[in-house]
């Protein structure tokens, strides 16, 4: 056939129209009826100037009997896009094409577990955004290859390498099973839309393996994974909210580990007084308070974004800015377990500290911790093991740590809030108190026999507690320079901002991959 530009371009445009239809109008309509977008629609909602790669890739379509049904566009869409002026690599499965099945039918994977889009993020040193909605594995793959393949032949190396190189942000928008679920948790930030599910194997697999009928939401629903398992960081109301959260988190992070995070708007006066703090933190040391109100009062207005709010609730982890400088905020939560550090909270802190170290975010830690959580449940959940790993993570942090002692600071858990071997700054408010253990519990443990033998045990115990409280005057520690600073809480914002600004010079000298590997989960 003689080549002509007209015929060649006609074929190109025709193939593009076919590719744009993905799994066909009927399957796309079903996707929309279930409140979900196609992968191309998701990409269009979050990027501008998207350039697709591998647009014309296709897979052979066969029925259960192996009969040839022609071909369909590839189940994966990827390419180069722009988010708020920043270039990113972006990709995702499309459920309308064979339920987002893996691309074993292609000579080269487009993405999902390695593949072109991950190589693009690695080589160009740009963030990677992934949309996960696929079955993860496909028994029909051996029809295409002519034999079954051994899963261990698939390389995950690039996916893990990226964790020490560029931001990896993932949204689970629908069903994510098997390898798709696994890829979702290899990320710095993950979000799942309400109604979506994630599991190693879905209900049919559970039924065959265990003989149990289980609802897919009970098995791996969005609420469970953001509140119980901690496999996914944040829950989104819908797909629009999930995309907005991805965009928001990206704004705090650099393009890669060889750059600093972008400094944001500085219109919020750094020296504004925070009078509300005196109202938020009660004068009665036994009364809890809302630590999030403390945090939002101190950081730049409208800059607070929490990561993992429903899991490991004894610790709060959030992104924010102070004088425009992106920071990682960690805080005890007096409204949950009185702020005691349990295993889940320790694990949450470890991952967040690793994230901050990887992308050069200074850490500001607000402390009100009575110690490690105690009791049979806490011990069975590995509180000591996980708590010591939390201490290790803060000691090994490669970024400045500014610690603000709001109130309680007792026991080993305090070692997870600051690093005495680095130039970490510890600031105390006059409401601060600290020691080996809380006075009340310590008196019960240390003077149990004397209390039992007293004529009035309760009165005797209270007198001992008061005597020790008087001796635990925090000013004595400050006078001994066991605490670097004691300040008026209303000046916290200004003082922290000054030290953060000075620390940026140090951060510039540490650009590049962290000295230790990213720890996905302890």
pLDDT tens digit string along 292-305?
999 999 999 999 99
Q: What is the mean pLDDT of residues 114-119?
A: 94
Cα–Cα distances (Å) from 304 to 220, 298, 398, 500, in that order, read: 29, 10, 23, 17
Identify the band that residue 184 occupies on the pLDDT scale cut at 50, 70 and 90.
very high
Residue 455 lies in a domain: no
Mean pLDDT, the chain, integer? 90
Residue 485 lies in a domain: yes
Q: Give the DSSP letter of residue 229.
A: I
- The pLDDT of residue 8 is 94
Q: What is the mean pLDDT of residues 126-134?
A: 96
Residue 449 lies in a domain: no
For residue 486, the cross-strand partners are 428
Residues 241 and 331 in one domain: no
DSSP, collapsed to helix, strand or coil, labels residue 302 as coil
Q: 362: burial class by Cβ within 10 Å (0-12, 13-18, 19+)?
A: buried
Residues 164 and 203 in one domain: yes
Residues 305 and 232 in one domain: no
Residues 179 and 236 in one domain: yes
* pLDDT for residue 402 is more than 60: yes
Residue 159 lies in a domain: yes
* pLDDT for residue 52 is more than 90: yes
Residue 452 lies in a domain: no
Distance CA 136, CA 401 (A): 40
- The pLDDT of residue 142 is 55
- The pLDDT of residue 522 is 46
What does the pLDDT look like over 82-116, one tens digit per residue?
999 999 999 999 888 877 777 777 878 888 888 99
Give the chain's largest Cα–Cα span.
110
Residues 239 and 302 in one domain: no
Residues 228 and 307 in one domain: no
Residue 17 and residue 55 in contact, taking contact as beta carbons nearer than 8 Å? no
Residues 14 and 120 in one domain: yes
* pLDDT for residue 209 is more than 70: yes
Residue 391 lies in a domain: yes
Residue 405 lies in a domain: yes
Q: What is the mean pLDDT of residues 142-147?
A: 58
* pLDDT for residue 136 is more than 80: no
Distance CA 503, CA 496 (A): 11
Q: What's the total number of domains in the chain?
A: 2
Beta-sheet pairing, 401-410 with 425-428: parallel
Residues 324 and 367 in one domain: yes
Cα–Cα distances (Å) from 377 to 224, 257, 325, in that order, read: 20, 39, 39
Identify the band that residue 167 occupies on the pLDDT scale cut at 50, 70 and 90.
very high
Identify the band that residue 4 occupies on the pLDDT scale cut at 50, 70 and 90.
very high
In sequence order, what DSSP letters do the residues of 326-357 get, joined into one string?
EEEEEEE-TTSGGG-B-HHHHHHHHHHHHHHH
Question: Domain residues for 87?
Answer: 5-252
Identify the band that residue 518 occupies on the pLDDT scale cut at 50, 70 and 90.
low
Residues 213 and 312 in one domain: no
Q: How many helices (H) and strands (E) does the chain have?
A: 21, 18
Whole-prediction pTM value? Answer: 0.92
Three-state secondary structure of 414-440: HHHCCCCCCCCEEEECCCCEEECCCHH
Residues 103 and 163 in one domain: yes
Residues 66 and 122 in one domain: yes
**What CATH code is carried by the domain that includes residue 234?**
3.90.226.10
Residues 82 and 201 in one domain: yes
Nearest to 243 by CA among 39, 397, 427: 39
From 46-50, 201-205, 300-304, 328-332, the region with the lowest mean pLDDT: 201-205
Nearest to 132 by CA among 169, 92, 167: 92
Please calculate the CA angle 263-268-269 and round it to the nearest 5 degrees. 110
Residue 282 lies in a domain: yes
What does the pLDDT look like over 472-498, one tens digit per residue?
789 999 999 999 999 999 999 999 999
Residue 232 and residue 68 in contact, taking contact as beta carbons nearer than 8 Å? no
From 60-64, 172-176, 260-264, 312-316, the region with the lowest mean pLDDT: 60-64
């Amino acid at each position: 056939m003689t080549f002509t530009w007209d015929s060649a371009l006609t074929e190109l445009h025709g193939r593009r129209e076919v590719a744009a239809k993905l799994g066909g109008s009927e399957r796309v309509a079903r996707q929309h009826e279930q409140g979900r977008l196609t992968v191309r629609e998701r990409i269009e909602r979050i990027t501008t100037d998207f350039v697709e790669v591998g647009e014309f890739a296709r897979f052979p379509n066969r029925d259960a009997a192996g009969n040839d049904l022609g071909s369909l566009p590839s189940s994966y869409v990827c390419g180069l896009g722009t988010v708020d002026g920043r270039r990113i690599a972006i990709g995702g499965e499309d459920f309308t094409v064979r339920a987002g099945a893996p691309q074993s039918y292609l000579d080269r994977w487009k993405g999902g577990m390695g593949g072109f889009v991950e190589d693009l993020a690695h080589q160009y040193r740009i963030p990677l955004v992934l949309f996960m909605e696929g079955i993860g594995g496909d028994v029909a793959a051996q029809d295409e290859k002519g034999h079954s393949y051994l899963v261990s032949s698939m390389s995950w190396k690039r996916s893990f390498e990226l964790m020490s190189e560029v931001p990896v942000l993932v949204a689970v928008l629908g069903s994510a099973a098997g390898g798709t679920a696994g890829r979702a948790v290899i990320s710095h930030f993950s979000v799942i839309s309400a109604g979506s599910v994630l599991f190693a194997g879905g209900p049919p697999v559970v039924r065959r393996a265990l003989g149990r009928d289980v609802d897919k939401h009970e098995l791996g629903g969005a609420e469970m994974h953001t509140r119980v398992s901690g496999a996914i960081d944040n829950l989104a109301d819908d797909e629009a909210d999930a995309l907005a959260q991805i965009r928001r988190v990206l704004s705090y992070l650099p393009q890669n580990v060889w750059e600093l995070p972008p400094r944001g708007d500085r219109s919020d006066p750094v020296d504004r007084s925070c009078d509300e703090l005196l109202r938020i933190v009660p004068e009665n040391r036994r009364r809890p308070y809302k630590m999030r109100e403390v945090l939002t009062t101190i950081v730049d207005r409208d800059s607070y974004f929490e990561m993992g709010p429903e899991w490991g609730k004894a610790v709060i982890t959030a992104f924010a800015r102070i004088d425009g400088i992106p920071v990682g905020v960690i805080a005890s939560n007096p409204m949950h377990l009185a702020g005691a550090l349990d295993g889940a909270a320790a694990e949450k802190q470890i991952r967040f500290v690793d994230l901050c170290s990887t992308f050069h975010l200074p850490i500001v830690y607000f402390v009100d911790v009575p110690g490690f959580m105690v009791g049979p449940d806490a011990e069975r959940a590995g509180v000591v093991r996980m708590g010591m790993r939390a201490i290790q993570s803060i000691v090994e942090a490669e970024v400045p740590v500014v610690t603000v002692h709001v109130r309680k600071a007792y026991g080993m858990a305090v070692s997870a809030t600051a690093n005495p071997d680095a130039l970490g700054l510890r600031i105390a408010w006059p409401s601060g108190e600290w020691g080996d253990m809380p006075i009340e519990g310590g008196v019960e443990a240390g003077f149990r026999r004397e209390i039992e033998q007293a004529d009035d045990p309760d009165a005797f115990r209270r007198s001992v507690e008061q005597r020790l409280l008087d001796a635990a005057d925090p000013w004595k520690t400050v006078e001994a320079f066991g605490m670097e600073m004691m300040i008026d809480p209303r000046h916290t914002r200004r003082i922290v901002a000054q030290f953060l600004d000075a620390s940026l010079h140090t951060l510039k000298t540490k650009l590049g991959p962290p000295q230790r590997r990213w720890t996905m989960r302890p």
